[in-house]
Amino acid sequence: MTSTTTTPRSATGAVALRGVTKVYGRGDGTVLALDGVSLDVSPGEFVCLVGASGCGKSTLLNLVAGLDRVSGGEIALGPGVNPGLMFQESALFPWLTVEGNVEVPLKLRGLSRARRRERVAELLRTVHLADFGRKRPHELSGGMRQRVALARTLALETPVLLMDEPFGALDAMTRDILHDELERIWSERQLTVLFVTHNVREAARLADRIILLSSRPGRIIWSTRVDVPRPRRIDSPEVAAIAAEVTDRLREEVGRHGR
């Protein structure tokens, strides 16, 4: 692959990918992870990426976040947009309190101490952790740690959130509660979300649109809009029907790749 790069440029939408390719290694060790991925994400849209393990979902998020460089094609973001990236693990600093963790990006942005305290309090109220600011990460449940991670990401004041299986390690009940919280925050703040998940029910519960990537190399092979009214329940018949359709497509792709 000889073409290179570009990230970010101005986009009319929130996120635009044009023929994005990612290659790892050289010579006999070359691995083509993504192959010609093109995708437009509109401002305020919630898009879920699904696919088999190793299909390049996380790679795509890392490229959009600017943590890695494309091998070919280009990625364009809205003017002045620096996306916030949230991982499956909360990645909190264990020596800092909840307040201290949320304050980190505010310090990097150069806010005054008074303004930082004010914003931290606002953000902790947003994720319903107002009474836990002096706790340290080891004193919190997994779901609470992910709420802190979400508050820290929101502190970046970015309109675009990239979420890499942020609820994958949580139990079903906690995950369901955090789905409600994320949907509320997404709606209130009119955020754009690009969300990676292995859980097709989660995708059907959250997404405006679901994108299915092929097995390696990752290509977009199918997409569908989720026209189920919000708020949704993960166990509703409508969500189950969408999830079943996605599962059938995913099973077909995994079977094709395995033959």
Q: How is 108-162 classified by DSSP, letter by letter?
A: HTT--HHHHHHHHHHHHHHTT-TT-TT--GGGS-HHHHHHHHHHHHHTT--SEEE
pTM for the model: 0.91
Note whether residue 128 is domain-resident. yes
Can you give the pLDDT at residue 27? 78
What phi and psi, each to the nearest 5 degrees, are found at residue 3?
-75, 155
Note whether residue 231 is domain-resident. no
From the list 222, 127, 220, the residue with the least C-alpha distance to 180 is: 127
List of residues 6+ apart from 143 with CB closer than 8 A: 170, 174, 175, 177, 178
Can you give the pLDDT at residue 52? 87
Note whether residue 168 is domain-resident. no
Note whether residue 209 is domain-resident. no
Whole domain around residue 148: which residue ranges? 90-157
**DSSP character for 214?**
P
What phi and psi, each to the nearest 5 degrees, are found at residue 239?
-65, -40
Question: How many residues are listed for the chain in this entry?
Answer: 259
Please report, for residues 20, 23, 45, 152, the alpha-carbon distance to residue 31 in angstroms, rounded to integers and kept in the order given: 15, 6, 31, 34
Please count the structural domains in the chain: 1
pLDDT along the chain (259 residues), means of 10: 41 85 88 95 97 90 95 92 92 97 95 96 96 97 96 95 94 93 95 96 97 94 95 94 95 75
Assess contact for 218 and 60: CB atoms under 8 A: yes
Note whether residue 140 is domain-resident. yes
